[in-house]
Amino acid sequence: MEMENKQEQNNMDRRAFLKRMGLGLAASSAVLTACKGGKNGGRATSEGTTVGTGDMTYRYQRRTGDKVSLLGYGCMRWPLRTRPDGEEEIDQEAVNALIDYAIAHGVTYFDTSPAYVRGWSETATGIALSRYPRDKYFIATKLSNFAPSTWSRRASKAMYHNSFKALQVDYIDYYLLHAVGMGGGMEEFRHRYIDNGMLDFLLKERKAGRIRHLGFSYHGDIAVFDYLLSKHDEYQWDFVQIQMNYVDWKHAKEVNTRNTNAEYLYGELQKRGIQAVIMEPLLGGRLSKVHDHIAATLKQRQPEESVASWAFRFAGSAEGVLTVLSGMTYMEHLQDNVKTYSPLVPLTPDDYVFLEQTAQQLLRYRTVPCNECQYCMPCPYGLDIPGIFVHYNKCVNEGNTPSSSGDEDYRRARRAFLVGYDRSVPKLRQADHCIGCGQCKPHCPQGIDIPEELRRIDRFVEDLKQGREF
């Protein structure tokens, strides 16, 4: 849940080469290819736009002066492939290619965790990065001691030491207490970091130089966030990782009641001069996979930019942001994001107003932040959980979830939703069969309250089926 995936590459690479030229970029042969496209249609094609290698926007870590690329690579979504024996494994060549492109285009920050990609991420990231000099990249990893079996000092320390081995490094640039505030709030936080003395241990490690910067990533219970900042004088946080995007800025509670507005989180960090690392700049992909109507509005304002670029520009425009993380599985997403930040074109005051309006529109289309990772499956009662969410989101984005039974389009949308529902998900695997046993819930990396969302969808389906007024 740390990072973002740019799901759709709808309209991703539509930059006019002239703009690139105007910005003084190297005119590569690829750009010249785009020239033809420009003559024909006045636009560059995705194949025709590459970015020069020296344009990345950088931010500087306030204490150490680290030159951190504004685009940070989230290593939680490395591509997988299936071995001949049917088992899945990391597609290391693809990982290497992605990291090669990223480093060539100025990305310096790589964020991983012992928990990512079924525990394979650190090793794969280490293999790819160790092909470069150690000063070409910054490693961020975390103490992901979620399971109670890893709460002991011994197990937590083992996890810490293993990261060095897996990443093939002898120091870690950025180390985080992972997802504080999740699960049991303050109590769980104490179990994980205080009672076992791990926080003190990590502070010592920072002093010893094996950890260059210490911070924490925060989700959930705001009490933990406030507590940790209140101890800033003692702990001297070098950075804090928060969820921030143009929806969460002012409307976090409307997305998920356990969340807190990014405006508050960022403001608290700014007060104390702590730099923010941004996760979820795309809100679980929801800011790239948007409703047709919103996509059209965004494209209208910037016809040559991708839908996702707006979210990245929002996250990057804040001066107190050190880097913006994106979990990129596909080269096309990486290329699009690199372009957005090479260099960053900061939002204008008008843009902020526009995005706030967009956020308010988005909130009317309540999609479920499901990325179809399938971790919740199989449901013991036979539900196709991702299938239900995918259908629901698709209908939301295609305008087939009437917001009121009085909608002009109500009858058509109702039919499209219900007929499509039966097509996408067999009747016996639909939301009304969720009994709320909750076995799926802890497995969801997006922190979706799956039973609650299924109930919401079920209620919506019942509204449509019964023709209730809403």
Q: Which phi and psi angles does 305 have, rounded to 5°?
A: -110, 150
How many other CB atoms sit within 10 Å of the CB of residue 257? 8
Does position 147 interact with another protein (CB under 8 A)? The reply is no
> 81 pairs with which residues across the strands?
89
- Does 384 bind another protein (CB under 8 A)? Our answer is yes
Q: Note whether 338 and 307 are within 8 A (CB).
A: no
Closer residue to another protein in complex, CB, 132/381:
381
* Residue 416 CB neighbours (<10 A): 18
Q: Does 380 contact another protein by CB under 8 A?
A: yes
DSSP state of 210: S
Collapse the DSSP code of 178 into the 3-class scheme (helix H, G, I; strand E, B; otherwise coil) and give the result: strand
Per CB under 8 A, 415 contacts another protein: yes
Quote the tokens at residue 219. 């989700």
Output the smallest distance, CB 468 to another protein, in A. 8
Interface residue with another protein, options 194, 346, 428, 470 (CB under 8 A): 428
Residue 55 near residue 47 (C-beta atoms within 8 A) = no
470 binds another protein (CB under 8 A): no
Among 432, 441, 442, 445, binds another protein (CB under 8 A): 432
429 is a site residue for another protein (CB under 8 A) = yes
Minimum distance from CB of 409 to another protein (Å)? 13
**Of the candidates 147, 303, 426, 443, which one interacts with another protein according to CB under 8 A?**
426
436 counts as binding another protein under rule CB under 8 A: yes
- Identify which range of 164-172, 175-183, 250-258, 416-424 contacts another protein by CB under 8 A: 416-424
Closest C-alpha to 367, from 248, 423, 283, 437? 283
- 374 contributes a contact to another protein by CB under 8 A: yes
434 makes contact with another protein (CB under 8 A): yes
User: For residue 341, what are the CA distances in angstroms to 69, 188, 255, 336, 386?
Assistant: 9, 37, 27, 9, 32
Q: Which of residues 446-465 bind another protein (CB under 8 A)?
A: 455, 465
Task: Give least dist CB 261 to another protein, A.
Answer: 32
Among 438, 443, 452, 470, binds another protein (CB under 8 A): 438
- Provide CB contacts within 8 A for 182, sequence distance 6+: 146, 188, 219, 220, 221, 447
- Residue 416, interface with another protein (CB under 8 A)? yes
What 8-state DSSP symbol labels residue 90?
A: E
CA distance 460 to 468: 10
Decide if residue 422 touches another protein (CB under 8 A): yes
* Torsion sign (Cα): 168, 172, 173, 175: positive
Q: Which is nearer to another protein, 93 or 292 (CB)?
A: 292
Of 216-224, 302-310, 352-360, 373-381, which segment contacts another protein by CB under 8 A? Answer: 373-381
Listed ranges 14-22, 334-342, 356-364, 428-436: which one lies at the site for another protein (CB under 8 A): 428-436
- φ/ψ region of 285 (left if φ > 0, alpha if ψ in -120 to 50, else beta) reads left
Number of residues that bind another protein (CB under 8 A): 31
Residues 376 and 447: beta-carbon distance below 8 Å: no
List alpha helices for 74-215, DSSP H: 92-104, 121-129, 153-167, 185-189, 198-208
> Does the footprint of another protein cover residue 466 (CB under 8 A)?
yes
Of the two residues 263 and 432, which places its CB atom closer to another protein in the complex? 432
Residue 302 engages another protein in binding (rule: CB under 8 A): no
Cα within 13 Å of Cα(96), Cβ side: 8
| Footprint on residues 163-202 left by another protein (CB under 8 A) | none
Q: Is 405 in the site for another protein (CB under 8 A)?
A: no
Residues in touch with another protein (CB under 8 A): 374, 377-382, 384, 412, 415-416, 419-420, 422-423, 426-429, 432-439, 455, 465-467
